[in-house]
Structures are given as structure tokens and as C-alpha cells.
Amino acid sequence: MLTVNAKPYEYVFDPAHTALVSIDMQHDFIADGGFGALLGNDVSLLRAIVPAVAELLAWARGAGVTIIHTREAHLPDLSDCPPAKLKRGRLTTGIGDAGPMGRILVRGEPGNDIMPEVGPLPGELVIDKPGKGAFYGTGLGDFLKEKNITHLIVCGVTTEVCVQTTLREANDRGYECLLVEETTASYFPHFKQAALDMLTAQGGIVCWSSSLAALKGATEA
């Protein structure tokens, strides 16, 4: 068992029963020319965490933690995309439409690929999720049960949307979760801070958070 100096108090986990979930580190959200940039966002804010996510992945692999990657991705016929999601935002170029990096948020398109610096290694699970959370409409829950996973370390983008949704889904399913602060980001930095405050409030109502240095410096319990 390892103990991490975290908020709101120490986070204790067994690497053998822990998974790292890297959420939506894909070109669509992070790269110039991706969906996020088309929406007018400053994608450099998300791209800035790539080195920290790469460092976290390297640590987790060395610690024997199970690695899971997610992508927000839809089938080419969009049959797994609710009409409400397609209509949301009144976008001129939206989900399924052709963009500079192929069809937006569609499986197999260049924009849907995970950034190579933080991409999966052979044998690491990649989950295509049709919603914001990693549990909805996916086999994540079954996979975690099969692996006897009880704890999740989470990173990725964006903090207040897909990351927070996944953490809330996980919390409701009984998982003990840690969000690593330098490895998550938002197009709106104050949204990230607000999400961190909400998630860890009231004694960790949803999850714990820590710095990457604190996680790497975890001590044996």
C-alpha cells in the first residue's frame, strides 16, 4: 500500500488494484486544427499538460498500475450519438462534420487519435466513449471488475467536463479516485480550479487531488 500527501487528506492505494485513466488526450481537443480550436478555444492550455501526462504514464507503468486511455468518439454512422448532442451549440461545424483533421469526433479519423506523446503502448486498453463520462456506453465497468480494480488515478481533459463526469461516475460506483492536478486542464483555467474545489470539498465528496510530485513520492503505508 502506498500513501500520497493529498487533498483533503492522505490517499492510500495498492498499485496492483489501481488503474490510471487518461481521458481524451486526443488531437480533436488538444491540437491546432482540432475540434477544440475550431470552437475558438486556446488549445495551448491543454497542450501544456502533455509532458506531465507523459511523466505520469511513465510512473504508472513502472509502478505496475493498469493503464486505460479514453477517446470521445462516435461510430461513423453516428448511431451512438444522441440527437440532442448533435444539435447542441448550433455549430456550423460539429460532430460528424468534416474538419481539418477529418470528421469530428468520429472513430478512425486523424483528429480522434491520441496525441503520440501520451499514446497507448501495446496491451493498454483504449476505450471509445460516446458520452462525457468513461463509464456510460462502454465496457469500462466490466473491465475494472475483471481486473479487481478498486482505485483510479485520473488525468486528462477537460477538467470540468469529461474528467469531472468520469470521476462522479466512478465515485457513484464505489471507486476511490485521485485526480493529479498538473495532468488535467481546461480551456478556462478558472473552471479547472472550480472543479478541483468542488470535487475535493466536504472531506473529498467525489475524490482526492494531489500534485504529480506527491504521487511520485508516495510512501509505503
Is 192 known to be catalytic? no
Pick the catalytic residue from 24, 28, 113, 128. 24
DSSP code of 123?
T
Task: Give the pLDDT score at 189.
Answer: 97
Is 129 known to be catalytic? yes
Low-confidence ranges of the chain (pLDDT < 50): none
Task: Give the pLDDT score at 221.
Answer: 67
Is 162 known to be catalytic? yes
pTM here is: 0.96
Residues 98-118 as b/e (b if ≥16 CB within 10 A, e otherwise) read: ebbbbbbbbeebbbbbbbeeb
Distance between CA 18 and CA 175 in Å, rounded?
Answer: 10
CA neighbours within 13 Å on the CB side: how many for 167?
29
Pick the catalytic residue from 162, 177, 192, 207. 162
Task: Give the pLDDT score at 15.
Answer: 98
Pick the catalytic residue from 7, 81, 128, 129. 129
Residues 21-58 as b/e (b if ≥16 CB within 10 A, e otherwise) read: bbbbbbbbbbbeebbbbbeebebebbbebbebbbbbbe
